[in-house]
Amino acid sequence: MYSLTSEELYIYFDSDSYEIDGKQKAQLTSKILEIGGTNIKEIYVEGHTDSFATDEYNIVLANNRALRAAAVLEQIGVPARFIKMESFGESQIISEKHEANRRAKIFFVYETDIKSSLNPPKWIVIKTLDKKTKKPINASLGFDYKDLEMKFSSTGKSGISAAFSLLGEELDIMASAPNYLSTYFTIPPEDIDKPIDTLVYILELPQVAVTGKFTFQNIYFFTDSDEIRPESTPELHKLLAIMQREKKAYIEIQGHMNYPLSRPMNSVQHRYNMELSFKRAKAINDYLVVSGISQERLTYKGMSNIRMK
């Protein structure tokens, strides 16, 4: 299995210029060769300026700096489809030294191979089915390893995932699909010792009819954390009261992120948003379970920064 890795590199410019000198072009070339062109998933280029001139002028200058950096990357051999750009003008001053602000920030996202801790290695395949009809369904998958970042994939129209390298002995798997209750599965420890190289698991998702959606606006988390803030208690009590009153209700908890939809999102940011929103939804789920609500009535999923419709 592969993991996404990220690195940053800065290009600096003379005042009122967007030309890149030969030394910095060589740095870019060296970085691309180090990463390996086939491993690149995305390159995000930000253009910046110092605080001289007007805001309008600096937006244009920063954009030209981003464009020039992107052009150099294309000359090196990076396909244009992998490059995204944004101009910040003078809005992100980072130093009192003006030359440090005349920059292009280049954010590389690329794949690196993750080695399994298992010896011999094992592979895992997931099949997702409609629980009633037993027909395959296209489901999103979340792989939650202990002490490792989460991985995300899907089963596609066939209902069968690609074969993934099992990276460790402790793994929780989540499968979700529109109009289905999410399903969760923990790999039994004894399966790790089975004398087979590929473990295949079938996850059956029950279909449901959505009868309503509720938005709880006052459930807060600490920044970059899935820890619920104390001031969220009244809203959590309201949710708990609903579940205690509506004995036959099943709910799906959707975690969301406060990340502007208008701002471009690179692959690393998307993965981070998915994982944190998933863990925030799980934190609310765990609160309800501890408070006496059966896990069978609860499902949860991360929505990144996708707004609930």
| Residue-wise pLDDT tens digits, 59-117 | 999 999 999 999 999 988 888 888 999 999 999 999 989 999 999 999 988 876 555 55
Contact call for residues 98 and 16 (beta carbons, < 8 A): no
Show the domain range for 7: 2-113
Kindly state whether residues 37 and 84 are assigned to the same domain. Answer: yes
Residue 146 and residue 121: Cα distance in Å, rounded? 17
Query: What pLDDT score was predicted for residue 308?
Result: 44
Going from the C-alpha of 257 to that of each of 47, 117, 165, 283, 303, the distances in angstroms are: 25, 32, 29, 14, 8
> Residue 138: pLDDT above 90?
yes
Q: Is residue 308 part of a domain?
A: no
Interaxial angle between packed helices 233-245 and 267-290, expressed in degrees from 0 to 180 and rounded to the nearest 10 = 60
Query: What pLDDT score was predicted for residue 3?
Result: 58
Kindly state whether residues 104 and 10 are assigned to the same domain. Answer: yes
Other CB atoms within 10 A of residue 188 CB: 10
Q: Is residue 295 part of a domain?
A: yes
Kindly state whether residues 45 and 132 are assigned to the same domain. Answer: no
Q: Is residue 217 part of a domain?
A: no
Helical segments of the chain, H only:
22-35, 55-76, 98-101, 233-245, 267-290
Query: What pLDDT score was predicted for residue 274?
Result: 80
Going from the C-alpha of 107 to that of each of 9, 40, 70, 202, the distances in angstroms are: 7, 11, 12, 38
- End position of a domain, from candidates 63, 78, 113: 113
pLDDT class of 279 with cuts at 50, 70, 90: confident
Mean of pLDDT over the chain: 84
Q: Is residue 42 part of a domain?
A: yes
- In terms of phi and psi (left: phi > 0; alpha: psi -120 to 50; beta: otherwise), the region of 85 is beta
Kindly state whether residues 35 and 74 are assigned to the same domain. Answer: yes
The pairing of beta strand 171-176 with beta strand 140-145? antiparallel
Give the CATH number, domain containing residue 297.
3.30.1330.60
Kindly state whether residues 9 and 103 are assigned to the same domain. Answer: yes
Kindly state whether residues 190 and 247 are assigned to the same domain. Answer: no
Kindly state whether residues 90 and 168 are assigned to the same domain. Answer: no
Q: Is residue 34 part of a domain?
A: yes
- End position of a domain, from candidates 113, 143, 175: 113
Q: Is residue 105 part of a domain?
A: yes
Give the CATH number, domain containing residue 133.
2.60.40.1120
Kindly state whether residues 135 and 193 are assigned to the same domain. Answer: yes
**Core vs surface per residue 160-171: b (16+ CB within 10 A) or e:** ebeebebbeeeb
Backbone phi, psi, residue 59, to 5°: -60, -45
Query: What pLDDT score was predicted for residue 117?
Result: 56
Which of 149, 290, 131 has the alpha carbon at shortest distance from 282?
Answer: 290
- Predicted TM-score (pTM) of the model is 0.51
Kindly state whether residues 109 and 168 are assigned to the same domain. Answer: no
Within 13 Å, how many C-alpha atoms sit on residue 28's CB side?
Answer: 26
> Residue 137: pLDDT above 50?
yes
- End position of a domain, from candidates 59, 93, 113: 113
Kindly state whether residues 136 and 84 are assigned to the same domain. Answer: no
Number of domains in the chain: 3
Kindly state whether residues 135 and 104 are assigned to the same domain. Answer: no
Mapping DSSP to helix (H, G, I), strand (E, B) and coil, where does residue 214 land?
coil
**Greatest mean pLDDT among 9-18, 34-43, 110-119, 213-222:** 9-18
Q: Is residue 21 part of a domain?
A: yes
Q: Is residue 309 part of a domain?
A: no
Query: What pLDDT score was predicted for residue 263?
Result: 57
Kindly state whether residues 109 and 127 are assigned to the same domain. Answer: no
Residue 74 or 211, more confident: 74
**Greatest mean pLDDT among 19-28, 248-257, 258-267:** 19-28
Backbone phi, psi, residue 84, to 5°: -120, 145
